[in-house]
Amino acid sequence: MSHKHIFARAAVIAALLLIRSTIADVLPDNRADVFYSKYSGGGMDITGYSATARAKITENFAVEANYFVDKISGASIDVLSQASTIKDERKQKSGTLEYLHDKTTYTASYISSVERDYISETASFSLSQSMFGDLTTLTLGFADTHNTVGENNGTADAPNVAWVGHALSRAYSGGLSQIITKNFIAGVNVQVITDAGYLANPYRSIRYLVSTDVNPKGYALASQVYPDTHTSTAVQVQAKYYLPYRAAVTALYRYYTDTWGVVGNTYELDYTHPIRDKWIFEGRVRYYKQSAASFYSDLFPFADSQNFTARDQNLAALDNTTIGAKVTYAFLPDGWRIFKRGTVTADVSRIRFNYLDFRNIKDFGLPQYEPGDEPLYQFSATVYQLYLSMYF
């Protein structure tokens, strides 16, 4: 249950990506996609299915609709006191309108994500302007999100959800993309997000030291206390270069900082290698490192030791490394009926998570480990994706 909230919030914000990926001057081709994904790791299994379709109503106006279902099951590391198994389903629907006028593309989008104990809705608007002989593209956008947070006090099979709070989020984004040479394009994105309201995950708790007389584990649990505001700024710089034998290499770096004291650095390198017009192979490596939030601690010295307290693993000091590979095969060389092109893609990523100040207290404790000496948590996850894209 603990991962889910963050899932929903992230999915909604992540969907904003779809808004930003515009190539101005011509609206993208009509297409339909079916997508299957599986995340397996950290005791969780998440299967996702989605269907997307986009079509041009006129040369200047297009619509896109997407339906996504996530099914979650497993036993998460940080479910400390409640029933350890989680089983839930999240349904997300989104609709997007795109309008192209001369060199400007306007996009409006609405996303709704619903699960038993979390509802998230986002409305967003962006515009993308092509300038200077189509060498420069400026994108500006903003999005408003409303989240309703609940807590399931029952079990996975017999739920009893109590709604505990709301959160509002506003995101401002700006992006600038510049063609530097006929082989080289670079860009920079900035995004500022402000949230207010109930921002914690109700299923996570903090722990603080107590004597073993009070609790045989040596620690007691308490609710997290989060600030009711949060503002973050992220800046990403990226570049793509075309190699003379027909391949592309992409590099990106993102710097993240927020009012909670988290500083995150992301580094990614991708290599794309096509073979004629039939196959595209892609390999990627990503490294992410973050510092902990200022009010985060794996083990507090006593109850109410700080105004704000958190033990959510997302706010811990951590790093992760991803290695991924993707293969795309174009299976309709001459088209078929109304379809001009069809591709099928398989993608596998392996992520190694390494926590620097979050301990595995689910599997380890007294008498072998004193509170605060349990092994640091580490786990690996594999993400599989399989999708079919038909262009018409």
Q: Is the Cβ of residue 288 or residue 300 nearer to another protein in the bound state?
A: 288
Considering the complex, what minimum distance in angstroms separates the CB of residue 360 from another protein?
15
Considering the complex, what minimum distance in angstroms separates the CB of residue 23 from another protein?
4
At which residue do the structure tokens 């998440």 appear?
A: 46
Q: What is the DSSP string of 27-83?
A: PPPPEEEEEEEEEEETTEEEEEEEEEEEEEEETTEEEEEEEEEEEEEE--TT--SS-
Q: Say how far apart CA 314 and CA 377 lie, in whole Å.
A: 12
Measure Cα distances from 239 to 43, 138, 162, 187, 265 in Å. Answer: 36, 16, 46, 6, 17
Q: Is the Cβ of residue 82 or residue 314 nearer to another protein in the bound state?
A: 314
Q: Is the Cβ of residue 26 or residue 269 nearer to another protein in the bound state?
A: 26
Q: Is the Cβ of residue 76 or residue 219 nearer to another protein in the bound state?
A: 76
Considering the complex, what minimum distance in angstroms separates the CB of residue 218 from another protein?
28
Considering the complex, what minimum distance in angstroms separates the CB of residue 118 from another protein?
12
Considering the complex, what minimum distance in angstroms separates the CB of residue 222 from another protein?
21
Q: Is the Cβ of residue 146 or residue 217 nearer to another protein in the bound state?
A: 146
Nearest to 97 by CA among 133, 147, 56, 68: 56
Q: Is the Cβ of residue 16 or residue 167 nearer to another protein in the bound state?
A: 16
The contacts found for 129-137 with CB under 8 angstroms, 24 or more apart, are: 129/24, 129/103, 129/104, 130/24, 130/25, 130/103, 130/104, 131/103, 134/24, 134/25, 134/103, 134/179, 135/178, 135/179, 136/176, 136/177, 136/178, 136/179, 137/22, 137/24, 137/175, 137/176, 137/177, 137/178
Q: Is the Cβ of residue 259 or residue 306 nearer to another protein in the bound state?
A: 259
Q: Say how far apart CA 350 and CA 346 lie, in whole Å.
A: 14
Considering the complex, what minimum distance in angstroms separates the CB of residue 4 from another protein?
9
Ramachandran class of 147: left when φ > 0, alpha when ψ lies in -120 to 50, beta otherwise:
beta
Q: Say how far apart CA 355 and CA 297 lie, in whole Å.
A: 12
What the block records as the tokens of 83 is: 């029933």
Considering the complex, what minimum distance in angstroms separates the CB of residue 112 from another protein?
15
Q: Is the Cβ of residue 138 or residue 221 nearer to another protein in the bound state?
A: 138
Q: What size, in residues, is the chain? A: 392
Considering the complex, what minimum distance in angstroms separates the CB of residue 55 from another protein?
15
